[in-house]
Amino acid sequence: MFIADSHTHSICSPDGVVPMTEMAKGAVRAGISSLCITDHCDFLSLDGMERITNYDWMPLLAQYQEMRSQWGSHIDLPLGLEFGMGFLDPQAAETVLALPELDFVIGSVHNLSEEAGGKDFYCVSYETEADCYLALDNYFSSMERLAEGKFYDVLGHIIYPLRYMNGNYQYPISLWKYTDQIRVILKKAVESGRGMEVNTWKGKTLNEWIPVLQLYKECGGEIITVGSDAHDPEPIGRGVKHAYAMLSDLGFRYVANYHERKPQFWKL
């Protein structure tokens, strides 16, 4: 069975901890067929205080070439990027994504809008349930801006803020009130020939994806990648097989991975 983990991070991400070679070694050990390292490029800093509009590919490419030389005969290794809020500066985004070696781009929203302070949702204090919904209002407005642009191949972890709201604060936060807005977001992606990812968050979020996937199917969506969001070798691939089974149960026939910014489909 072809198993692709299409969302992982190396030390080239600010929150990564190991070199790419170690990530590839861990993926081979875990029986993964294709590993895509998608290190972060975010146009807002973690605290939201700085707008970032460039990206230095050189350190990443050096590690990527070393990984390919050591492990390229053992595992498929497309080169990815997790690109945060590229819509903030379209011209800069075009420059970042012009790298010829780039195979795959996850479009993400990690931060509140600049008008709301720009903090990463990881840094936001969710003191009340109302705080959670204010943050989600802001998040889905930005996600809609992302979806209508062209700086992504798949929409990344659409349920991202929930991992902090329901994980750390134990509020029973639901996305039901955003159903119509999520449908609009997914339809924009489908109509532009783009997809969405199922992000298992190291195997912690799986069933939470079911209502989003049902909406995606309603919109005619077929392009789906699956990623663990592993930042070190141990959780690589966690939840991916479970996600494949879930997709099959929901009536999806294929999972995708990317090369040269084009999806390749693998039967579930």
* Residue entry with tokens 């590919």: 57
- 184 in a structural domain: yes
Find the CATH number of the domain harbouring 136: 3.20.20.140
- The answer to the question of residue 34 being in a domain is no
- Give the pLDDT band of residue 58 (cuts 50, 70, 90): very high
182-193 pLDDT tens trace = 999 999 999 999
Which pLDDT value is given to residue 168? 57
* Cβ neighbours around 100 below 10 Å, total: 5
Whether 171 shows a pLDDT value over 70: the answer reads no
Q: What confidence score (pLDDT) does residue 157 get?
A: 97
20-to-32, 233, 236 alpha-carbon distances in Å: 15, 10, 12
In a domain, 211, yes or no: yes
Please state, rounded to an integer, the average pLDDT across all residues of the chain.
Answer: 96
Region for residue 227 given its phi and psi (left: phi exceeds 0; alpha: psi -120 to 50; beta: otherwise): beta
Q: Is 2 domain-assigned?
A: no
Please state the domain count of the chain.
1
Q: Has residue 170 been placed in a domain? A: yes
The letter for the amino acid at 205 is: T
Nearest CA-CA partner of 1 in 251, 207, 236, 237: 237
